[in-house]
Amino acid sequence: MDTVQFRIGNIPVGEGLVVAPMDGITDSAFRCMLHRHGAALCYTEFINARDVLHDSIFFERKTAQLREEEHPIGFQIYDNDPMNLLQAAKKLIPFQPDFFDINIGCSVAGVANRGAGAGLLLDPDKVAEIFDRMTDAFSIPITAKIRLGWDDRSQNYLQIAHLIEEHGGAMIAVHARTKAQGFEGKANWSAIREIKDSLRIPVIGNGNVTRVSEIHKMEELTHCDAVMIGRAAMPNPWLFTLRDREEISNSEVFDFIQKHFGLMLEDYPPDAAMILFRKYLNQYLKPFALDREQKIQLFSHAQPLPLLNAVKTILRL
């Protein structure tokens, strides 16, 4: 690592962008590709503490596939019960996370309405209890990813951020929207600045960053320790190398596709890899505006090699 950008507890994090945890998207293969293209830090997709406690296959899928090159990595867990989080984290320690991240931002009804994810924003005492228990139990850092509040009228982000720091939290990532906003509307970057100005621990800024110019704007406006990219990572994984999509040559696109697909074939049975890879391929090929027929034809290939050859043709290589 050339330059240390910030530290999570005593863990140095190099220069670069942070990959937002995204369920169903940021699996080991995608995280590896983004690391290789300059990302400084990744998290697992969120892990339901109850899946861990009940040995669900979802937990195995989200944690067992971890490559050495992915470190440092945070294991993100969610639940509404501090003891469940603690017990699940104990079961996850053998997978060697560098830190645990508590999800205090998920807006999905099934999570938030039972008091987990963004639901925790409504219960500051519970947030404090979670950080007390987790920091007592583990020597690795405990961090959080939060939203600004439940809705416009209850934006308690400063209270929650202070509680997290006071109760031992080592870093906060801020998705600068409320739970009620979901993924719509403008993210409020001024709130990230307010949090950054009032805490000592690192603050990661997140929300609405899709282009290189916006990365610089967020850094300038918020003074955040690093910028976190979510949805824009799929159509433009090269954002992590500080390049916009139109700057990427077709041969570089193909090289990325080939390598990403190769990693997915290592991690999943071939049939599953072919299906799971479609959502990435759709995004990588977005500038080619394929119509329905062309997509049907592309995804009719049942074997990796013919699929890659068809991609080559689309890319005119």
Ligand X SMILES: Cc1cc2nc3c(=O)[nH]c(=O)nc-3n(C[C@H](O)[C@H](O)[C@H](O)COP(=O)(O)O)c2cc1C
- The CA-atom distances, in angstroms, between 161 and each of 84, 182, 306 are 22, 20, 51
Smallest gap from Cβ 310 to ligand X, in A, equals: 26
Q: Does 65 bind ligand X (CB under 6 A)?
A: no
The correct pick among 27, 40, 41, 46 for binding ligand X (CB under 6 A) is 46
For residue 303, how many other CB atoms are within 10 A of its CB? 10
118: closest CA among 165, 177, 67? Answer: 177
Residues 224-263: x where in contact with ligand X by CB under 6 A, - otherwise, as a string: -----xxxx-------------------------------
Select 239 or 285, whichever has its Cβ closest to ligand X: 239
The correct pick among 203, 207, 224, 239 for binding ligand X (CB under 6 A) is 207
Q: Which of residues 145-204 bind ligand X (CB under 6 A)?
A: 145, 175, 183
Catalytic residue, candidates 32, 42, 106, 224: 106
Rounded-to-integer distance, Cα 48 and Cα 46, Å: 7
Q: Please report the beta strands in the chain, taking only residues with DSSP state E, as ranges in sequence order.
A: 4-8, 11-14, 18-19, 42-43, 47-48, 73-78, 99-104, 142-146, 172-175, 203-206, 226-229
Q: What is the dihedral of CA 132, 201, 89, 44, to 10 degrees?
A: 160
Region binding ligand X by CB under 6 A among candidate stretches 66-74, 150-158, 205-213, 264-272:
205-213
Q: Does 208 bind ligand X (CB under 6 A)?
A: yes
CB-nearest residue to ligand X: 230
Smallest gap from Cβ 302 to ligand X, in A, equals: 27
Q: Does 70 bind ligand X (CB under 6 A)?
A: no
Rounded-to-integer distance, Cα 22 and Cα 26, Å: 5
The correct pick among 11, 13, 18, 20 for binding ligand X (CB under 6 A) is 20
Active site residue 106: yes
Q: Which amino acid is at 240?
A: F
Task: Report the DSSP pairing between strands 4-8 and 11-14.
Answer: antiparallel
42: closest CA among 143, 181, 186, 192? Answer: 143
Q: Does 25 bind ligand X (CB under 6 A)?
A: yes
Smallest gap from Cβ 312 to ligand X, in A, equals: 29
Q: Compute the residue count for the chain.
A: 317
The correct pick among 5, 7, 14, 22 for binding ligand X (CB under 6 A) is 22
Kind and range of the H or E element at 130?
A: helix 124-137
Q: Does 31 bind ligand X (CB under 6 A)?
A: no
Smallest gap from Cβ 121 to ligand X, in A, equals: 13
Q: How many residues bind ligand X (CB under 6 A)?
A: 23
Ramachandran assignment for 130, one of left (phi > 0), alpha (psi -120 to 50 degrees), beta (any other): alpha
Smallest gap from Cβ 47 to ligand X, in A, equals: 8
The residues carrying an active-site annotation are 106
Q: Which residues here bind ligand X, judged by CB under 6 A?
A: 20-25, 45-46, 76, 103, 105-106, 145, 175, 183, 206-209, 229-232
